Amino acid sequence: MKQRSVIRSIAGMRCPKCREGKMFPAHTLYTRHFMKMNDRCSCCGQSFEPEPAYYFGAMFISYALNAGYFIALWVALLIVMDNIPDALIIGGTIALVISLLPITFRLSRVLWIYIFVRYRGPIESSAAAIHQH
């Protein structure tokens, strides 16, 4: 089995342990179900919410991502404009934060769990899944 890079696994929002199973149900990103998360990995059985309020800390990653959008927008505007109106930078940031909300929400959770759950590789993970059954 070919190994996925950590960047591709995070971008694909896959299980941190085996990098195979999807953390979120398909086709729900830009729907009102964007907060839905799978309970556990369909491939290795890793729980995606190991303890209650597990994702409290993901809030800080979410803040950092939003700050990143602001900086990216500001730099992009600096390149094309000499004087950036305050309303444009504020309005643009609000528009970005709202339009990217489902992605920010999921990405902050994915990054959070990737900090704590180590990659075990596809073979060891599937062996662990057998032990759990």
Dist. CA 104–CA 59, nearest whole Å? 10
Helices (H) and strands (E) in the chain, counts: 5, 0
Q: How far is CA 118 from the centre of its chain?
A: 16
Provide the angle, in degrees to the nearest 10, between the axes of the packed helices 86-99 and 58-80: 140
Kindly tell me which residue out of 9, 10, 21, 73 binds Zn ion, with binding defined by CB under 5 A. Answer: 21
Nearer to Zn ion, 43 or 73 (CB): 43
Give the residue, chosen from 15, 23, 107, 110, that forms a contact with Zn ion under the rule CB under 5 A.
Answer: 15
109 near Zn ion, judged by CB under 5 A: no
Q: For residue 103, give every residue at least 6 positions away whose Cβ sits within 8 Å of its Cβ, in sequence order, or none.
A: 29
Q: Does 37 bind Zn ion (CB under 5 A)?
A: no
Output 44 or 73, the one with its CB closest to Zn ion. 44
Nearer to Zn ion, 45 or 92 (CB): 45
> Is there binding between residue 46 and Zn ion (CB under 5 A)?
yes
Contact footprint for Zn ion (CB under 5 A): 15, 17-18, 21, 41, 43-44, 46
